[in-house]
Amino acid sequence: MDKDLQARQEARELAKKAEQAQVVLAGFPQSKLDTIVAAVARDFAAAAPELAQLAVQETGFGNVEDKTVKNEFASKNVAGAIKNMKTVGILKKEPGYWEVGVPVGVIAAIVPSTNPTSTVCYKALIALKSGNSILFSPHPKAIACTLRAVQVVARAAEKAGAPAGSVGCLSIPSMDGCRELMNVPEVKLILATGGPGMVRAAYSSGKPAIGVGAGNGPAYIHRSADIRQALSCILRSKTFDYGTVCASEQSIIVEKEMEENVRRTASQMGFYFMNKEEAGRLAKLLFKPNGTLNPDIVGKSARVLAEKAGFPVPGSTQVLVAREQEAGPTRPYSMEKLCPVLAFFVMDSKEAVLSKAIEVLRHEGSGHTFAIHAKDEEVVEEFALQIPVSRFLVNTPAALGGIGKTTRLFPALTLGCGAVGGSSSSNNISPLDLINIRRVAWDADNPQVQVDEDLVEILTRKILERLG
């Protein structure tokens, strides 16, 4: 049997086991699901350094220190955020109206090569919290570390009482296997994090899907900002795991009067402003002739990128910056670059900055993330009402703020982009996105009719257990 046939068969077998397991999970009370989630988070956090090392070794993307932080974020932060969240059973009870949380069923989860282990923990936690089983499809360039991450999660979940098959993973790298997983009848929802081709495949499967769009967030440094603090945020964000977080800044936009001060301060902090020749050399490396991002530059340090492009940079260099004024398919610096490289736009006015930011996002990144550094709340409000994004971040590193580490956003590694970005959700995806709500409603015109609410609750639970 060839590899593709084996992969398809494996997908079908995993789906059957996951469906059987999900019937059991659907009958668990919230307390039991919470026990499973806590066990998974604890064991995954303990394995965070090992998994980070495996991910860097296999993919060549990012660095071990930051990938460890990502793994701890996906376990500790996510578990903390959902600890007291109610997801199954009676969610709300008001006179004449109840809401019941119902798991969606078996979830197929696509795992990206940029976050191959942290994504596993995050998605497993939000799925198990909401009474769902989950099956992972790893990226071919990250299959070993993803399998190891799933193994950690599955063992912890089963040890805490989850039925075997609640968490599974394809072990054969094959697009046929991934497509089969998305199309098997047992799978009820697809949670897609990855490249645009994979996300389109998820939405084309005929199944409900939650996908994400490209990130290409501009960062506006307004004249009211603390320039050094703003650049510190951008530096921290853009160097975190060498730029592999999709919410990280892709460009800096300033007004003309700010240019000299921003450039001088940035140069002192490790930003290297490339000349025209150097920027041209690097541009040839960023994207393939067909317009797709070159994987050889993803998650590499600024000094490695400069070396690949063939020009020297100071030893203190942490981010490479190219002057840009236009956005479009022939302007590589105006697009998403999953590495510590930024475009630098200089505009004549605040109004021109707003227009350019919208232009950049409409070219790529609509619905995703925008960052502004300003003390003037009026300009924050002005931009917030017009910038087409789901995450509008103020005075924070975009990579960490977008995923909810430095902000009050839900901690997540799947960031919806809303309808403007071609996504079914604009949320930082949480367990509440992985349930359906059953509404129990009394006749409003006959409030005198008395019903034994305890009996209704018992019957509702019995129906949930039977339907799964």
pLDDT digits (tens, 9 = 90+) for 334-386: 999 999 999 999 999 999 999 999 999 999 999 999 999 999 999 999 999 99
Confidence of residue 451 (pLDDT cuts 50, 70, 90): low
Q: In terms of domains, do 388 and 245 share one?
A: yes
**Residue 30, both tokens:** 């919230």
The answer to whether 369 and 219 have CB atoms below 8 angstroms apart is no
Give a yes or no: residue 414 inside a domain. Answer: no
Q: In terms of domains, do 352 and 306 share one?
A: yes
Give a yes or no: residue 143 inside a domain. Answer: yes
Give a yes or no: residue 418 inside a domain. Answer: no
**Residue 163, both tokens:** 């039925």
**What is the per-residue pLDDT across 212-255, written as a single tens digit (0 to 9) for each?**
888 999 999 999 999 999 999 999 999 999 999 999 999 999 99
High-pLDDT (> 90) share of the chain, %: 87
* Three-state secondary structure call for residue 253: strand
What average pLDDT does the segment 174-181 reach?
93
Please report the pLDDT score of residue 211 as a whole number.
86
Give a yes or no: residue 18 inside a domain. Answer: yes
Q: In terms of domains, do 58 and 117 share one?
A: yes
Query: What is the Cα–Cα distance from 276 to 44, expressed in whole angstroms?
Result: 46
pTM, two decimals, is: 0.93
Known catalytic residue at 246: yes
Q: Which of 172-181, 268-277, 395-404, 407-416 has the lowest mean pLDDT?
A: 172-181
Give a yes or no: residue 138 inside a domain. Answer: yes
Which of 376, 408, 440 is a domain's end point?
Answer: 408
Q: In terms of domains, do 108 and 69 share one?
A: yes
Query: Is the pLDDT score of 453 beyond 90?
Result: no
**What is the per-residue pLDDT across 256-312, written as a single tens digit (0 to 9) for each?**
999 999 999 999 999 999 999 999 999 999 999 888 899 999 999 999 999 999 999
Give a yes or no: residue 417 inside a domain. Answer: no
In angstroms, the Cα distances linking 189 to 103, 109, 173, 207 are: 11, 9, 21, 6
Query: Is the pLDDT score of 93 beyond 60?
Result: yes
Please report the pLDDT score of residue 414 as a whole number.
95
Q: In terms of domains, do 58 and 19 share one?
A: yes
Q: In terms of domains, do 35 and 15 share one?
A: yes
Q: In terms of domains, do 223 and 207 share one?
A: no
Count of structural domains, the chain? 2
Here the contacts of 68-71 (C-beta below 8 Å, separation 24 or greater) are: 69/240, 69/241, 70/115, 70/117, 70/118, 70/241, 70/413, 71/44, 71/45, 71/47, 71/117, 71/118, 71/121
Please report the pLDDT score of residue 201 as a whole number.
79
| Average pLDDT value over all residues in the chain | 94
* Three-state secondary structure call for residue 225: coil
Q: In terms of domains, do 200 and 252 share one?
A: no
Q: Which of 121, 246, 339, 417 is catalytic?
A: 246
Give a yes or no: residue 278 inside a domain. Answer: yes
User: What is the CATH classification number for the domain harbouring 239?
Assistant: 3.40.309.10
Q: In terms of domains, do 264 and 401 share one?
A: yes
Please report the pLDDT score of residue 62 as a whole number.
97
Q: In terms of domains, do 191 and 293 share one?
A: no
Please report the pLDDT score of residue 467 as a whole number.
62
Give a yes or no: residue 96 inside a domain. Answer: yes
Query: Is the pLDDT score of 19 beyond 70?
Result: yes
Please report the pLDDT score of residue 197 as a whole number.
73
* Burial annotation 333-346 (CB, 10 A radius, 16+ → b, else e): bbbbbbbbbbbbbb
Q: In terms of domains, do 175 and 241 share one?
A: no
User: What is the CATH classification number for the domain harbouring 434?
Assistant: 3.40.605.10
CA atoms within 13 A on the CB side of 26: 26
Handedness of CA 451, 454, 455, 457 (dihedral sign): positive
Which of 408, 437, 456 is a domain's end point?
Answer: 408
- Domain of residue 381: give its range: 219-408
Query: What is the Cα–Cα distance from 125 to 118, expressed in whole angstroms?
Result: 11
Q: At what angle do helices 30-46 and 143-159 cross, to 10 degrees?
A: 140
Q: In terms of domains, do 98 and 188 share one?
A: yes
Query: Is the pLDDT score of 1 beyond 70?
Result: no
